[in-house]
Amino acid sequence: VTGELVLFYLFASLALFSALAMVSFVHNVVAGVISLVVTMVSLAGIFVLLGAEFLGVVQIIVYAGAIMVLLLFVVMLLNLETDDFAPRSRARSLWKLVGSAAAVAFAALLALANRPQPGLTPPISGSIGGHRDIGLALFREFVLPFEVGGLILLSAIVGAVILAKRRVD
């Protein structure tokens, strides 16, 4: 067992545990957001371990930095730290159970199919393409998706401003 594998299991258990904590923190949304930050940072560590250093950095800056701070700002600005909703009917809880059982069955099916493949090349431990390779690919063969991504962000900004604006009469 190499140190790489030990670190992978450490980050993996941390990500899984904090994801479960995020889903099951019933009455504290802020704690849920913080545990999702822990998941994102552990996933960034896993990305670096897998050889995708650039995406590890992007994961920390964009996810753990920008998105989570935005979520935390909204939660704290709206003063919605707790959720004590009125209980709903028993039939709905039953459907929740059915949906969760379906999700678990789907995961089990995928996990059964996820076994070592004989024809696959054994894994490597170095980089799998740094910022130079990604930049060249992004501005050569993938330049159209790149531009479309810019358009998506622009329309998201415009939509957010229009929707969040208070109506002034």
| Beta carbon nearer to other proteins, 90 or 117 | 117
Q: Can residue 8 be called a binding residue for other proteins (CB under 8 A)? A: yes
State the nearest-atom distance from the C-beta of 58 to other proteins, in Å.
7
Q: Can residue 69 be called a binding residue for other proteins (CB under 8 A)? A: no
DSSP string, 94-148: HHHHHHHHHHHHHHHHHHHH----TTSPPP--S-S--HHHHHHHHHTTTHHHHHH
Do 128 and 54 meet the contact criterion of CB atoms below 8 Å apart? Answer: no
Indicate which single residue of 3, 91, 115, 169 sits in contact with other proteins (rule: CB under 8 A).
115
Q: Can residue 5 be called a binding residue for other proteins (CB under 8 A)? A: yes
Phi-psi region of 117 (alpha: psi -120 to 50; beta: other; left: phi over 0): beta
Cα within 13 Å of Cα(72), Cβ side? 15
Indicate which single residue of 10, 14, 38, 134 sits in contact with other proteins (rule: CB under 8 A).
134
Do 64 and 41 meet the contact criterion of CB atoms below 8 Å apart? Answer: yes
* Pair of tokens at residue 104: 């678990």
d(Cα 37, Cα 61) in Å, to the nearest integer?
Answer: 11
Q: Can residue 114 be called a binding residue for other proteins (CB under 8 A)? A: yes
Q: Can residue 65 be called a binding residue for other proteins (CB under 8 A)? A: no
State the nearest-atom distance from the C-beta of 84 to other proteins, in Å.
10
Q: Can residue 70 be called a binding residue for other proteins (CB under 8 A)? A: yes
State the nearest-atom distance from the C-beta of 44 to other proteins, in Å.
10
Q: Can residue 14 be called a binding residue for other proteins (CB under 8 A)? A: no
75-104 residues near other proteins, rule: CB under 8 A = 75, 78, 80, 83, 85-86, 88, 96, 99-100, 103-104
